[in-house]
């Protein structure tokens, strides 16, 4: 009888970031501005790489796809949040929620894999510069990116199916501003042990494997940089690596804080802050980090702006 009295959930209510109308308007303006910067920054970075022959190298090939992943990830979360900001009831259907879970997990896996590919590319470029063209042919780069996309989508799809294979009963309020696995698990009225183990294992495996690739690559890179006799060469190598390392630190730190801990230690406010930083801020910062700290990108951008200015005259 208790089971039959339970109402089956067909939609979820998102709590959002705040219930205060004034703060909602402020958050809306901030999120809109960040999303516009993210879209323009990442799409502009992609266009710049495509139109600049000097940037047709493996590193910029991976950066181009990283920019696409950042734009995709931000577009998965932010527009829906902007639309729901002023709605009194921020509801999302079961199928829309499942789609967002799949897209978000796919984005997370893609981001990790692209960062790993960039770390390996840096290792080959700095440790084996004479063999760089041989060890990083375009065919291999395409295979790495294609494999990343296929794996990321499969992980997202399997995790979403596992999440929504569980039974959800009232209440249906998600303590988050988007559909995410962690708060959804707390709403399930069926056994969640298998799903929790799947989430922890998948997140742990993805983070651990990609982090191992990054760490091993940078151990060899640091030893190689130290052996460079030219001070200018060392400075250039460090300048290229610091951008990647800063992006890695932000990404792995926020992702580990969100997922690699037991459910009992989750906090609504801390998780919301980490989620905003991971889904909204990092996709905006990545193109800025890789462009403003890279003289090749700044030089090509300056040439394009000068050419456009001269054509107008």
Handedness of CA 269, 272, 274, 277 (dihedral sign): negative
Residues paired with residue 12 on neighbouring β-strands, in sequence order: 92
Angle CA(85)–CA(177)–CA(165) in degrees, nearest 5? 130
Give the pLDDT confidence score for residue 2 in this predicted structure.
42
Enumerate residue ranges in the chain where pLDDT < 70.
1-7, 16, 88-89, 258-271, 292-296, 298, 300-301, 304-313
Strand, coil or helix: 169? strand
Domains and CATH numbers, the chain: 7-304 (1.20.1070.10)
Q: Name the percent of the chain lying above pLDDT 70.
A: 84
Is the four-CA dihedral 68, 70, 75, 77 of positive or negative sign?
positive
Q: How many CB atoms lie within 10 A of CB 100?
A: 18
pLDDT at 154: 96
Quickly list DSSP for 93-160: EHHHHHHHHHHHHHHHHHHHHHHHHHHHHHHHHHH-GGGHHHHS-HHHHHHHHHHHHHHHHHHHHHHH
Residue 51 to residues 102, 195, 303: CA-CA distances in angstroms?
Answer: 33, 45, 12
């Amino acid at each position: 009888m208790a089971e039959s009295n339970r109402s089956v959930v067909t939609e979820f209510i998102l709590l959002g970031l705040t219930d205060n109308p004034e703060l909602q308007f402020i958050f809306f303006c901030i999120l809109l501005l960040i999303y516009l910067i993210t879209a323009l920054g990442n799409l502009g970075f992609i266009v710049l790489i495509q139109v600049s022959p000097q940037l047709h190298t493996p590193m910029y090939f991976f950066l181009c796809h990283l920019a696409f992943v950042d734009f995709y990830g931000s577009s998965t979360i932010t527009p829906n949040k902007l639309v729901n900001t002023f709605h009194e009831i921020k509801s999302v259907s079961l199928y829309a929620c499942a789609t967002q879970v799949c897209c978000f997990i796919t984005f997370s896996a893609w981001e990790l894999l692209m960062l790993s590919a960039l770390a390996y590319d840096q290792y080959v470029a700095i440790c084996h510069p004479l063999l760089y063209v041989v060890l990083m042919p375009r065919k291999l780069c395409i295979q790495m990116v294609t494999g990343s996309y296929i794996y990321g989508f499969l992980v997202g799809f399997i995790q979403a199916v596992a999440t929504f294979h569980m039974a959800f009963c009232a209440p249906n309020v998600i303590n988050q501003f988007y559909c995410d696995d962690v708060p959804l698990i707390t709403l399930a009225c069926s056994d969640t042990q298998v799903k929790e183990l799947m989430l922890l294992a998948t997140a742990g495996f993805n983070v651990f494997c990609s982090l191992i690739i990054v760490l091993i690559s940078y151990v060899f890179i640091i030893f190689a940089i130290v052996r460079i006799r030219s001070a200018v060469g060392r400075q250039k190598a460090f300048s290229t690596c610091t951008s990647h390392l800063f992006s890695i630190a932000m990404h792995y730190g926020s992702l580990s804080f969100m997922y690699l801990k037991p459910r009992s230690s989750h906090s609504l406010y801390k998780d919301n802050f980490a989620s905003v930083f991971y889904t909204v801020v990092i996709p905006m910062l990545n193109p800025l980090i890789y462009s403003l700290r890279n003289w090749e990108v700044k030089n090509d951008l300056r040439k394009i702006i000068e050419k456009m200015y001269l054509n107008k005259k």
